[in-house]
Structure 1
């Protein structure tokens, strides 16, 4: 499949050293579970020499900026920020709209947003740096660092590895205890209650998205380094990359010089809120705050242009698929139309987008949404952050990916309910667009 052969196209070299360990010891031998053989996650294929990056395409950046401006006009969206990077440089990084409809200040490149689940890639990356240091291994077991941890099935806790946690292969059912977190339950109490939570498979053998269990990686980092998780990320990632607006937690965002308040729909439009602290308590899963300027630097580093901070073999390991996630191909219109395969890696999703590899993640908490994607063969990265529950900005992502790949027919912003001015809608017909091309639309929500 083209998506697999083009994986990591922007990086030279081989997937070596770290990659075999990413499978974890529990993924090497198929155990039995309740007396039945377990189907294990597929192994990661070793890569040969990475193919060259294709020549860059000229993107209609001014068009995308005009669309973003239109989205934030007339109350359709309180605010957003978008960055596009290509070839290791920032093509665009701007803010649009306002931080708060009740006290409107313009969003700029240094306005801080809550990243929600885009935080997971930071957790995987800082763990990988510790693996590089020899402090951890991908197949290190959680119970080596948190000896009291238990799962409901005998022996399961002892099987759980670092790589399993970061790829959502804990064996627990999907989103275990998320509802309790939303009801303000204590994270540490819930981690002890995982000892009674139902399991659907042996650790390392199936996928189910987690927030509470994913955040156990923070306990491992603390035990291995003696430093708080957020301090390690700040020292190893934020500061070296110049992510000067980035922070962790509710205290971090409210201390920012300018930050975007979350918004929900009300009868008369948008209402701003105080951010909920609940998911902030899961720092590895959902704790990061950052500006679009920060995220542009994060994209450049994840694309391999900052080997002094994130070496190429580590990035290859982080982005390589570990477990299939076929449900992702059915989540939204653009995914149903474009995705032919989906997997989870380490803190990242891996998509086959019309035969092209895309590294992706989405994030959502009350009043905030975010999407981030990298297209390796074009050395292109896009991140969009916004301070509302609207689905509208997420349609910009496949719009940009389609342009970069020369794919026609996906007018993702064509939905009339978006109410965008005709002059700025991406649905404009181009001279080379065949008549009768697919005009399917999407109100895709990030995840």
Structure 2
């Protein structure tokens, strides 16, 4: 009888421990994970990595792996700075939650037009009159991402207000609130709305509301710094060999900063994770953001057609996206609710996972483009980390992490460039080069310039965009990026040139501004304020284009009318 009571007590205690998930993370667990990360970095040739782990509301690891600079042999540590790309979006939605809680006359569903006034316009009246913050932050506007201008960079002196004004010329491809279409432009607009409500810049709001109270002393904005000596530097790859990118390319995040301009460190990101695991409270328990308003950013806004889901029985585990929220996505990983977002900016890849019900959070940022299997690598690191922190048996080992998604599904072989040196174009068509030379413009996306240089045609677009033209036919050309953005069309997994097409009379060209939804026409001989100096040096600026053709026509008619009056009086 006594033995039975002891057995029942021990069994009940064991069941209770299993039910509450009572386990601890040991130094041996951390060391095993570090070995896993180092092995993966070796097989994937990852240059540098920052990693942060939060368990049971405590930061248990904030560390660096690999090199911040190969050339200078500087290692990554917990203070190394990484550009976190679109992880910035959650900072923007959190700031807006704070702004709304302090300005109750506005909420997530207030039409943007009611905040910005009648001067605010989008492509059509339905969007202009009805778009709200929930639509902007949930990617529900129905307008494509139009990424190419963001890649090449807007002019250095473009204000956020000017940037926002041009959005009205971007054509939609779907009715409002019917389709998830990711766009950085509308996160910039959301940040601009916060600026108009408060009278302070988005950067100032992030600093005041988040960085300062969270003691994120080594975090900031990549477009506001002049020295990158404390950064883990960005790289791309040629035949698995890392090649350093120009740090100034990070300035392409301006003026769309609310979509992706923040940099941070493994140490600082621990504080950011704790804020959200505690729904608006910092690590000391102080309430920084209203709980109810912040929780709204975690709620699903739109079902997402994102790829990369894992399902049984093909994979050992299930990992599926449910929805896009506001700066976050909702997923289910091995039965656990997960909030997350990824981030990518030239030379960097980042990923952040939160398991709110378990008070677990993981952040990783690595240098190197998403070629060379890096997008898979960062996901495998977070998967292995999550398994450890959730007390689950790991489904990845050193071998399968390096081969992922194999052996479960076959992956496409990496396409390698021939060389870092771009081949010279061969002019094998009858049309003269001068027939293509000139300015081509679009009201939404600015201006391109085609010019002759050393018996070749060069296309300049944006702050850093410079491309060589390779004739295919009289009207069809392939273009390859050179100089700062060389890796876009000539690095591992990025060897396909961009195809552009001229009209038969050479009065316009069609360029794939958005490669998923539509090509965009740039017209020749448009009304421009041309400053040829803008096209010198390291890429050209997008020129100021006269958008309001109605105003231009009215001015012309007024001058014509005045001329007629003077002519009649003279005679």
TM over 0.5: yes
Which ranges of structure 2 fall in alignment gaps of 5 or more residues?
Answer: 1-18, 413-492, 494-571
Write the mapping of 1:257-276 to structure 2, written as runs, cut at 5 A. 258-267=230-239, 269-275=241-247, 276=249
CA gap 1:284/1:370 in 2 versus in 1, 3 angstroms: same
The Cα shift of 1:360 comes to: 0.5
- Cα offsets for 1:288-309 (capped at 9, x unmatched): 0100111011001110052522
Match of 2:384 among 389, 399, 404: 399
Write the mapping of 1:19-418 to structure 2, written as runs, cut at 5 A. 54-55=20-21, 57-59=23-25, 60-73=29-42, 76-134=45-103, 136-147=106-117, 148-173=119-144, 175=145, 177-185=146-154, 191-252=164-225, 254-255=226-227, 258-267=230-239, 269-275=241-247, 276=249, 277-304=251-278, 305-306=281-282, 307-330=286-309, 338-389=318-369, 390-391=374-375, 392-405=377-390, 407-408=392-393, 410-411=395-396, 414-415=399-400
Identify the residue that residue 11 of structure 1 maps to in structure 2.
none
CA gap 1:412/1:133 in 2 versus in 1, 3 angstroms: farther
The separation in 2 between residues aligned to 1:408 and 1:442, in whole angstroms, is: 24
- TM-score by structure 1 length? 0.75
Local SS of the residue matching 1:298? helix
Local SS of the residue matching 2:125? coil
The Cα shift of 1:67 comes to: 2.2
CA gap 1:156/1:315 in 2 versus in 1, 3 angstroms: closer
Identify the residue that residue 3 of structure 1 maps to in structure 2.
none
8 Å CA contact 1:112, 1:260 repeated in 2: yes
CA-atom RMSD, angstroms? 3.2
The separation in 2 between residues aligned to 1:98 and 1:266, in whole angstroms, is: 18
The separation in 1 between residues aligned to 2:367 and 2:411, in whole angstroms, is: 17
The separation in 1 between residues aligned to 2:82 and 2:62, in whole angstroms, is: 14
Q: Which of 1 and 2 has greater Rg?
A: 2
The Cα shift of 1:362 comes to: 0.3
The separation in 2 between residues aligned to 1:288 and 1:442, in whole angstroms, is: 35
- TM-score by structure 2 length? 0.60
Ranked by relative contact order (alpha carbons within 8 Å, sequence separation 6 or more), the top structure is: 1
CA gap 1:63/1:442 in 2 versus in 1, 3 angstroms: farther
- Which segment is superposed worse, 147-156 or 92-101? 147-156
8 Å CA contact 1:249, 1:281 repeated in 2: no
CA gap 1:332/1:241 in 2 versus in 1, 3 angstroms: farther
The separation in 2 between residues aligned to 1:149 and 1:235, in whole angstroms, is: 27
8 Å CA contact 1:323, 1:343 repeated in 2: yes
- Cα offsets for 1:133-159 (capped at 9, x unmatched): 126421222223333232222231110
8 Å CA contact 1:81, 1:292 repeated in 2: yes
The Cα shift of 1:335 comes to: 9.6
CA gap 1:414/1:440 in 2 versus in 1, 3 angstroms: farther
The separation in 2 between residues aligned to 1:374 and 1:335, in whole angstroms, is: 22
The Cα shift of 1:346 comes to: 1.2
The separation in 1 between residues aligned to 2:80 and 2:394, in whole angstroms, is: 34
1:440 paired with 2:408, answer: yes
8 Å CA contact 2:143, 2:174 repeated in 1: yes
The separation in 2 between residues aligned to 1:145 and 1:72, in whole angstroms, is: 48
CA gap 1:56/1:111 in 2 versus in 1, 3 angstroms: farther
- Cα offsets for 1:205-264 (capped at 9, x unmatched): 432111012210121111111111101110000000010101012333x54661111011
CA gap 1:310/1:195 in 2 versus in 1, 3 angstroms: closer
8 Å CA contact 1:395, 1:442 repeated in 2: no
The Cα shift of 1:403 comes to: 3.6
Size of the alignment, in residue pairs? Answer: 373
- Which segment is superposed worse, 308-317 or 297-306? 308-317
Which ranges of structure 1 fall in alignment gaps of 5 or more residues?
Answer: 1-52, 420-437
